Chain A
Amino acid sequence: MKELMEILEELRPDVDFENETALITDGILDSFDIVALVGELNDAFDIEIKPNNLVPENFNSAKAMMALIEKLQDE
């Protein structure tokens, strides 16, 4: 979780990732943030995020992202 928070903090230091739960639904992260984020997460956690993973439920909060990362690492 710490590593994820560091990546998020560097990507968008203006966003409160501890508490936000509608990062995509409310448009806080835009499409270009997502492209940058997907690349960084794939590299940092040695996973491959697929297009069908790119749904708001998986990216609306840091917690949801962590759950997705763990799920993909288990596969």
Chain B
Amino acid sequence: MQTSVLERLDASAAAYADKVMFKDPDSSLTFSQFDALTRRIGTALSRVANAGEPVAVMSGRHVLTPACYLGAVRAGCFYAPIDGDMPKARLNQILSVIQAPTMLVDRAHLEMAQTLDFDGTLVVLEEIMDTPADEAVLSARAATLTCTSPLYVIFTSGSTGKPKGVITSHLSLMTYIDSVSKVLDINDTDIMGNQSPLDYIAAVRDIYFPISRGASTFIIPKNEFAVPTALFGTLNREKITALCWSVAGVELPAKLGAFDEGKPEYLKKLCFSGSVMPCKYLKIWQENLPDVLYVNQYGPTEATASCTYYVVRERVEDDTVLPIGKPYDNYKIMLLSDDNTPTPDGEIGQICVSGPILALGYYGNKEVTDASFIQNPMNPNYRELIYKTGDLGRWAEDGNLMFHGRMDRQIKHLGHRIELGEIEETARKVEGVKDCCALYHKEKATLYLFYTGEATSKEIVLYFRANMPAFMVPRKLVNLEALPALPNGKTDMQTLKTYFK
């Protein structure tokens, strides 16, 4: 039983010293270089941060960023990764929740960091990278960790308009990584192609497969996803064998016709998650790469990125609906009905999850934590927390779990989780917006905002671009005289949906 991910890093650094661990188009780090860098960063951070504190990390899409994360862990801290390309207002919201006394930034983000509402210690990566490692201090800091210590806090959309910071422990992360590597058979011959932003939950596989399994990860430049021929060229040049991508990322090359020009020759494994896979795109992948292992994964950040998986062995058709499958090892899944009793087999109930993979809660938010992580209502005998996902599921006859949508107004858009309520809260802050309703046109993957008032659509979009991440900006804005209403006065969303273009 390991006490922290640091034990895994120590072991892989010893076993794979001169092998490439992380690579981007401009540079690469071997396992021993990466390990040494985390020790230097950890030593420098230990001089300004206490063990057990959060360290906010704002660093770009390059090989040094994972070293910043693990450097914070070497200092006995946990990291809160932040995407420095997000608007200032959003970054300030996140900083107000995490209240980190220390922020580690790369030089490219220093100017931005200096304009934020942050009065703690600002540490610049390039200035501390050469700090000599102090092994005595590092072992003292490592000794403060237990497997239930927080490892990271990752932020996600909150319906009240404030982002929620999901706290994951070392134990949860290691449990998930072991379970998913078993299904995908990830080993030291694998080269991962990282698509997910490094601050996002989906990147944990690309960061921790090298640390736990000796794999390598290549960080693919973001704009290559707009140029499909360049994307497949990169996958082949880097001999990439395994991809854990969002469904939106897997769709892109198929949508843009990338297979007309070539295919990823070395690919053996493709795991996708984040939203429901439209099988007409998976079919294109299967036709071109019939021998690849395809895995459909389902689960929320609150259960460490996942809950269940389904290995796609059949050839899919355009209208195939993939199961979300069976629980990973150490994940317990149950379906509960509205009255908190078990849902009979074959009927639809809320997907609930328990096990050592449950998040420690939402950072600094006891109220929402207590409402979402509750005592298993079926267990009166001992403490057993479950997380109610808000997702609906049904056990099929073959024992696989099927996905049946959301209970609330949370959507998945371009691989990101969004509360429609948060879009509306934001729109109401725009001068000239009286009333509004945000809706998602699933088939066209388009976020709509219906609104009343004098504001122009341009004014609204500009406000969103200045305050919210790009994926939360409505794509279509429709100005109405009045929002259609139901007899009880609530907005009639079904009628609004008929206004989709």
Contacts and interface: CB of A to CB of B under 8 A. Distances in A.
A51 B257 contact: yes
Given A13-B457, A56-B227, A50 B260 contact: yes
A30 B470 contact: yes
A52 B261 CA distance: 8
Contacts of A56: 223, 227
Given A13-B462, A14-B462, A51-B256, A34 B226 contact: yes
Nearest to B446: A36
Interface in A13-53: 13-14, 24-25, 27, 29-36, 38, 50-52
A51 B229 contact: yes
A68 to B, nearest CB: 14
Most B CB within 10 A of own CB, among A13, A25, A50, A59: A13
Given A13-B457, A13-B462, A36-B475, A31 B225 contact: yes
A26 to B, nearest CB: 9
B248 interface: yes
B138 interface: no
A24 B462 CA distance: 20
B255 interface: yes
B252 A50 contact: no
B229 A29 contact: no
Nearest to A34: B226
Contacts of A32: 248, 414, 471
A36 B256 CA distance: 10
Nearest to B414: A32
A56 B224 CA distance: 10
A54 B228 contact: yes
Nearest to A35: B255
Interface string B441-466: 00000100000000001100110010
Contacts of A59: 226
B497 interface: no
Given A30-B470, A32-B248, A56-B227, A51 B458 contact: no
A51 B224 CA distance: 12
Contacts of A38: 256
B222 interface: yes
Interface of A: 11-14, 24-25, 27, 29-36, 38, 50-52, 54-56, 59
Given A32-B248, A35-B256, 17 more contacts: A12-B461, A14-B462, A24-B223, A24-B226, A24-B227, A27-B222, A31-B223, A31-B252, A33-B226, A35-B255, A38-B256, A50-B260, A51-B229, A51-B257, A51-B261, A52-B229, A56-B227
Interface of B: 222-223, 225-230, 248, 252, 255-258, 260-261, 414, 446, 457-458, 461-462, 465, 470-471, 475
